[in-house]
């Protein structure tokens, strides 16, 4: 039985981060150091890990980064004021407010307060709108990373059927728009989709972004398809796993991304690339 080729997100990230590091050096010679500000409100354990990883990635790549940590009692007004101050801070090119925020804070209102020029997470409506109409703007990091993975294997999307499972604003919807922009025929499936397998079996490219272990099994995959697993779940033993039954699906698929070591590292890499681009736009001639 044949086995799918693995798209290694760690190796690809390493390569892209090296390219980023080189561009950072060029920018520094022109007097600009890309700067990322990360705001964390509250004590969410997972968020603390994500934020630490982002700051570490910045340091490893030669970026300037600051982490602002606030107690869960921070008011919405105070948070908005911090975002405003960072919007005006010339040493900061990207602003990231780690989600989720405490319930008394309107996350969308905070995201909308970030200057679109510094919206390196790509969650602002201006960024979402730009993606929708095909204008330049920041793309959300996770689906952007998936596109880079497809690019890395030289995959041509034109004329192919891409099926996205999940319709969130941060993964599923922008993913579908990016695939459409590359001329794929796109189907979006979600929690109310009837007979999911009947649709996924038509997919040349299948992207799973749900958050349910083993949602995608081998019988749901077309032989030779590219399967990208965005899901991040914990199995019964507490180990990180995706939405795809990796062992089963790799017997059918042509290409597959593992979890861990797939989309996860690519997400931070694309955050670095977005921040670098934001800094490059700050050049006087840009």
Q: Which residues bind ligand NAD (CB under 6 A)?
A: 142, 165-168, 170-172, 189-191, 193, 196, 209-212, 230-233, 263-264, 267
109 belongs to the catalytic site: no
- Cβ of residue 75: shortest distance to ligand NAD, in angstroms? 26
Residue 46 C-beta: closest distance to ligand NAD, Å: 9
Instruction: State the nearest-atom distance from the C-beta of 60 to ligand NAD, in Å.
Output: 18
Q: How far is the CB of 266 from ligand NAD (least distance, A)?
A: 7
Nearer to ligand NAD by Cβ, of 86 and 244: the residue is: 244
Q: Which is nearer to ligand NAD, 25 or 235 (CB)?
A: 235
Give me the numbers of helices (H) and strands (E) for the chain, helices first please.
10, 11
Q: Which residues contact 143 (CB under 8 A, 6 or more apart)?
A: 171, 174, 175, 178
- 226 vs 230 by CB, closer to ligand NAD: 230
- Please report, for residues 27, 31, 33, 37, 174, the alpha-carbon distance to residue 64 in angstroms, rounded to integers and kept in the order given: 12, 13, 6, 9, 28
Pick between residue 125 and residue 282 the one whose CB is nearest to ligand NAD.
125
**CB-CB contact of 17 with 275 (8 Å):** no
Q: CB under 8 Å to 33, separation ≥6 — which residues?
A: 24, 27, 62, 63, 64, 91, 279
Instruction: Tell me the closest approach of the beta carbon of residue 135 to ligand NAD, in angstroms.
Output: 23
Catalytic residue, chosen from 119, 121, 243, 245, is 121
Catalytic status, residue 54: yes
C-alpha to C-alpha distances, 164 to 12, 80, 188, nearest whole angstrom: 22, 34, 5
Where residue 134 falls (left for φ over 0; alpha for ψ -120 to 50; beta otherwise) is left
Concerning whether 173 is annotated as a catalytic residue, the answer is: no
- Which helix (H) or strand (E) segment holds residue 232: the answer is none
Nearer to ligand NAD among residue 51 and residue 74 (C-beta): 51
Beta strands in 113-269 (DSSP E): 161-165, 185-189, 205-208, 226-229, 233-234, 240-241, 255-256
Query: Which helix (H) or strand (E) segment is 235 a member of?
Result: none
In the complex, minimum distance from the CB of residue 268 to ligand NAD, in angstroms, rounded to a whole number: 8
Query: Distance (Å, rounded) from C-alpha 32 to C-alpha 156?
Result: 36
**Buried-exposed string 228-258: b where 16+ CB fall within 10 A, e elsewhere:** bbbbbbeeeeeeebbbbbbebbbebbbbbbb
Cα-based distances in Å from 138 to 192, 275, 286? 30, 9, 16
- Kindly list the catalytic residues: 54, 98, 121
């Amino acid at each position: 039985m044949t086995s799918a080729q693995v798209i290694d997100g760690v190796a690809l990230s390493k390569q892209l981060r090296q390219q980023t590091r080189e561009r950072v050096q060029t920018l520094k010679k022109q007097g600009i150091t890309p700067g990322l500000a990360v705001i964390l409100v509250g004590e969410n354990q997972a968020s603390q890990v994500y934020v630490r990883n982002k700051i570490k990635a910045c340091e490893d790549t030669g970026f300037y980064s600051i982490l602002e940590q606030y107690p869960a009692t921070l008011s919405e007004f105070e948070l908005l004021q911090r975002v405003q101050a960072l919007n005006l801070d010339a040493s900061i090119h990207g602003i990231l407010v780690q989600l989720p925020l405490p319930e008394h804070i309107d996350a969308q209102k905070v995201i909308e307060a970030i200057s679109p020029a510094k919206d390196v997470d790509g969650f602002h409506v201006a960024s979402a709108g730009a993606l929708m109409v095909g204008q330049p703007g920041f793309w959300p990091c996770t689906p952007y990373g998936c596109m880079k993975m497809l690019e890395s294997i030289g995959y041509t999307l034109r004329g192919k059927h891409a099926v996205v499972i999940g319709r969130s604003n941060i993964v599923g919807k922008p993913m579908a728009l990016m695939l459409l922009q590359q001329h794929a025929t796109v189907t979006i499936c979600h929690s109310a989709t009837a007979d999911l397998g009947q649709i996924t079996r038509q997919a040349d490219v299948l992207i799973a972004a749900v958050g349910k272990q083993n949602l995608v099994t081998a019988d749901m995959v077309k032989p030779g398809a590219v399967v990208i697993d965005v899901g991040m779940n914990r199995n019964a033993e507490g180990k990180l796993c995706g939405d795809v039954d990796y062992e089963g699906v790799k017997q059918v698929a042509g290409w597959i991304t593992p979890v861990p070591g797939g989309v996860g590292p690519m997400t931070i890499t694309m955050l670095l690339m977005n921040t670098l681009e934001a800094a490059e736009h700050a050049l006087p001639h840009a």
